[in-house]
Amino acid sequence: MEALRIEGLKKKFGETEVIRELSFSVPEHSVFGFIGKNGAGKTTTMKMILGLLKPDAGKIQVFGESVSYGETKTNRFTGYLPDVPEFYSYMTASEYLRLCGEIAGLASGEIRRRSAELLELVGLTDNKKRVGGYSRGMKQRLGIAQALLGNPRLLICDEPTSALDPVGRKEILDILFKLKGRTTVIFSTHILTDVERICDRVGVLSEGRIVLSGEMEALKKQYAQDKVMMEFPKEKQEEVLAVLKAQHLEPLHTEVVEPSLEKLFLEVI
Amino acid identity of 43? T
Q: Are 107 and 229 found together in one domain? A: no
Q: Are 180 and 28 in contact (CB under 8 A)?
A: no
Which residue has better confidence, 250 or 150? 150
In angstroms, rounded to a whole number, what is the distance separating the alpha carbons of residues 161 and 87?
Answer: 18
Q: For 89-136, what is each residue's pLDDT tens digit?
A: 999 999 999 999 999 999 999 999 999 999 999 999 877 889 999 998
pLDDT score at 126? 74
Counting residues of the chain whose pLDDT is more than 70, the rounded percentage is 91
Q: For 154-192, what is each residue's pLDDT tens digit?
A: 999 999 888 788 888 889 999 999 998 889 999 998 888
Q: Are 143 and 260 found together in one domain? A: no
The pTM of this model reads: 0.82
Q: For 28-38, what is each residue's pLDDT tens digit?
A: 999 999 999 88
Q: Are 63 and 97 in contact (CB under 8 A)?
A: no
The 10 Å CB-count burial string (b at 16+, else e) for 213-227 is beebeebbeeeeeee
Q: Which pLDDT band, with edges at 50, 70 and 90, does 253 fall under?
A: low
State the CATH number of the domain containing residue 114: 3.40.50.300
In angstroms, rounded to a whole number, what is the distance separating the alpha carbons of residues 187 and 162?
Answer: 11
Q: Are 68 and 181 found together in one domain? A: yes
In angstroms, rounded to a whole number, what is the distance separating the alpha carbons of residues 188 and 148?
Answer: 17
Q: What is the edge-to-edge ordering of all strands in the sheet holding 78-81?
A: 78-81, 154-158, 184-189, 31-35, 201-206, 209-215
Q: Are 198 and 233 found together in one domain? A: no
Q: For 38-74, what is each residue's pLDDT tens digit?
A: 888 999 999 999 999 999 999 999 999 999 998 889 9
Q: Are 256 and 137 found together in one domain? A: no
Host H or E run for residue 62: strand 57-62
Residue ranges making up the domain that contains 58: 2-214
**Is it the case that residue 225 has pLDDT exceeding 80?**
no
In 3D, which of 185, 188, 222, 183 has the Cα closest to residue 200? 185
